Amino acid sequence: MAELRHIPVMLDEAVEGLAVQAGGRYLDGTFGRGGHARAVLSRLGSAGRLLLMDRDPKAIAAARDAFAAEPRVAIRHANFASLAEWDETAAGLDGVLLDLGVSSPQLDEAARGFSFMADASLDMRMDTTQGESAADFLAHAPEREIADVLWQFGEERFSRKIARAIVERRAESPLTRTGELSALIERVVGRREPGKHPATRSFQALRIHVNGELDAVRRGLDAALARLKPGGRLAVISFHSLEDRIVKQFIRDHSGRVQGSRRGPPQAAAPAELAAVGKAQFPSEAELAVNPRARSAVLRVAEKLAQAGHA
């Protein structure tokens, strides 16, 4: 599916959501292969500034190849969760773009171990310079922990059965290949969902766990809010309900709404810091016809308010 490799998801909607100003300062925390970044840069004038981050060394290499001679661009190899630690963000940002999850180049390169569609080393790390691989995790984690990961991050109904099978298998020989894990899951689960490989949920869960993705989203949203200037925009593209739920809740929690439940007394509202810009957006039929991988994408945009407590 090489034709899908460089297609940025919801490009026009995301860039429009940022409301790019020619002299503004913007951060793309998930460079990937730069589709969104190029669109933002095309709207910047000579005084504009574009900051690029990615935790994937190959993405950073691509960014440096593309923008080495561009004085308006700064590049940092790091997780977007640490964006507030970058000196370049200290002056404040007019916009932050986060395109969450795994990228098409990561999926399409079999050796990365993200996909069950080809046999490869069971790695799954976005940043291959640090952390433990999926194979490392499965080699030592207790059965209960493996089951919890599959259930919490993949919503896999057969998490306990799969975890038990993994532990039994590793007693004989370690799981080191995507093909081995995929075949094991298929034996345990069977093909119960038409059109969906039985390993889909488990591979998603392991990838999210190995890369600490949901924690990175929470930390990254906090960091983005801290660095955005009043009137600055936050645009986040999510690809599954676990991510989108965090983004939706974050915007709501910082919107100044009264917190609480129908069963208990209302809690005092925190000062409003963010306001949602429009409703959640989804890919158009035209985009889906060109890029089926966009089908689960959700874009949410919020603006930092000029004054705390301003509704």
Place of tokens 């100044």: 256
Q: Are 198 and 192 in contact (CB under 8 A)?
A: yes
- Give the integer Cα–Cα distance in Å for 228 and 67: 24
Residue 249 marked as a ligand binder: no
Q: Write out the two tokens for 96.
A: 């932050």
Q: Write out the two tokens for 290.
A: 């060109």
Phi-psi region of 114 (alpha: psi -120 to 50; beta: other; left: phi over 0): alpha
Residue 34 marked as a ligand binder: yes
- Give the integer Cα–Cα distance in Å for 157 and 73: 45
- Give the integer Cα–Cα distance in Å for 120 and 109: 10
Residue 99 marked as a ligand binder: yes
Q: Write out the two tokens for 214.
A: 């949901």
Beta bridge partners of 275: 303
- Give the integer Cα–Cα distance in Å for 169 and 77: 37
For residue 175, the Cα-to-chain-centroid distance in whole angstroms is 26
310's enclosing H/E stretch is none
Place of tokens 């963000």: 89
Residue 36 marked as a ligand binder: yes
Residue 307 marked as a ligand binder: no
Q: Are 160 and 166 in contact (CB under 8 A)?
A: no
- Give the integer Cα–Cα distance in Å for 304 and 221: 12
One-letter amino acid of 260: G
- Give the integer Cα–Cα distance in Å for 259 and 290: 42
E strand segments, the chain: 25-28, 49-54, 73-77, 93-99, 228-238, 274-276, 298-304
Q: Write out the two tokens for 137.
A: 């995790």
Q: Residues forming the annotated binding site?
A: 34-36, 54, 80, 99, 106
Q: Residues forming the annotated binding site for S-adenosyl-L-methionine?
A: 34-36, 54, 80, 99, 106
